[in-house]
Amino acid sequence: MKPAVLNRRPALPDPEIDQILAGEEELLPSSGFLSAVMERVEAEAELPAPIPFPWRMVLPGIVLSLAALLWMLYLALQPVLTTLRQTHLNVLFSAPESTNNLSLWLVGGFLAAFFGWHALRRISHNGL
């Protein structure tokens, strides 16, 4: 069985490659190449610095655009937010005599989350 041949060109023996490479002439740039390159470099060095982007003038416009976008979003969602606020406030503060009062559960959950976060923060800063 014959091994698969990946390179179909005949391999040149090392002495032939050395002879071919030794016979090549040294590449030299044309006579005016160096002076043309140096003239171009000097011309680029003499150009004034590029004008910087005026961030101080653009930043207020960006801030005002974002504020207007947020205001439009608020106005578009205001009916939904009002409805949610009314229904949730009614659920939270209705029936205070009930033992399954949702507001007590929410306050307890928030307190537990806060104290758990606070304890983990102290442990992570002080180490064990």
What is the pLDDT, as a whole number, of residue 27? Answer: 74
Q: How far apart are CA 87 and CA 110, in angstroms?
A: 20
Is the pLDDT at 24 greater than 80? The verdict is no
What is the pLDDT, as a whole number, of residue 18? Answer: 77
Q: How far apart are CA 101 and CA 94, in angstroms?
A: 8
Phi-psi region of 127 (alpha: psi -120 to 50; beta: other; left: phi over 0): left
Residue whose entry in the numeric block shows the structure tokens 């608020």: 74
Full-prediction pTM beyond 0.75? no
Q: How far apart are CA 86 and CA 80, in angstroms?
A: 10
Lowest-confidence pick of 71-75, 85-89, 99-103, 111-115: 99-103
